[in-house]
Structure 1
Amino acid sequence: MKTTQINPYLNFNGKCREAMQFYKSCLGGELTMQRVAESPMSATKTSQDSNHILHSTLVSDRIVLMGSDMIGNNLQSGNSISLCMVCFSDEEINKVFSMLAEGGNVKTPLHQTFWGATHGELTDRYGFNWVFNFSKN
């Protein structure tokens, strides 16, 4: 049976590849990375941005650590970590997203993505950033 997970999602200012490779050397596991240039987003980004990491995941037996360079230019201490909720049903992602959005700020409404998932982002009423993802696969 699949269970819902909440994983840390670290945002870097162009240092995602370096940092995630460092974490892999410390923690072990399998590291996957996707550059902006390898995604449909490449058409709307500068050549400098194309080498940035769109999404990375370090997975081992007990660890899931995710990271990206894609927070924008306003990266500062405090907004560089999000909680990523990996959901396992449409009902769950819609319910929890709506509940956490109450009194908060929806940054990206739930929508279908080019990677085949339902995805959304919000800041809750206490100022914490949340990323939601549900993939039917």
Structure 2
Amino acid sequence: MPSRLNPYISFDGDARQAMEFYKKVFGGTLAMNTFGEFGGQEAGAAADKIMHSMLETDSGFTLMCADTPPGMEYKPGNNISVSLSGDDVGELRGYWDKLSADGTVAVPLEKQMWGDVFGMCTDRFGITWLVNISEPA
């Protein structure tokens, strides 16, 4: 397997719901493991929470996430955003429509001064998404 770089997002107990949502947005294969599967009785109240999940899509995207482990502080912030870019207008607009639904649009998906169509939104789980649609080559 070649090396790869992909986002890994931490959630505060709703990782399962977030990843199921992202699977509806992007399609693909979703694998999830709970703390209980690997932590036995030590997992306690976190037994049903997600220790690790990975969504791999037909488009080649990989998104990983987990619930914050017991004993660690959940610190949401504005230090992460996920960027989607390319020239497949239908695919990228479809992602935008699903991600921005029930979320907050900071920059509407529209033509920008640099010539591409760009938008920025925060989904219902608090994750910021940047979508950039370039002109086909």
Q: TM-score scaled by structure 2?
A: 0.51
Pairing partner for 1:45 from 43, 46, 60: 43
Separation in 1, partners of 2:74, 2:26: 29
Q: Which of these two proteins has the greater Rg computed from alpha carbons?
A: 2
Q: Residue 55 of structure 1 aligns with which residue?
A: 52
Separation in 1, partners of 2:79, 2:41: 27
Q: How does 1:1-137 map to 2 (within 5 A)?
A: 2-39=1-38, 41-46=39-44, 48-61=45-58, 62-71=60-69, 72-78=72-78
Q: How far does residue 10 in structure 1 lie from its aligned partner after superposition?
A: 0.7
Separation in 1, partners of 2:25, 2:74: 28
Report if the CA contact (8 A) 2:12-2:74 is conserved: no
Q: How far does residue 44 in structure 1 lie from its aligned partner after superposition?
A: 2.4
- Kindly indicate whether structure 1 or structure 2 has the higher relative contact order, using CA contacts under 8 Å at least 6 residues apart: 1
Residues 64 and 4 (structure 1), Cα distance of their counterparts in 2 relative to 1, 3 Å cut:
same
Q: How far does residue 79 in structure 1 lie from its aligned partner after superposition?
A: 6.4
Separation in 1, partners of 2:40, 2:79: 24
Q: TM-score scaled by structure 1?
A: 0.51
Q: Which runs of 4+ in 1 moved over 4 A?
A: 78-81
Q: Share of identical aligned residues, percent?
A: 32
What SS class does the counterpart of residue 22 from structure 2 fall into?
Answer: helix
Separation in 2, partners of 1:37, 1:80: 28
Superposition RMSD in Å: 2.0
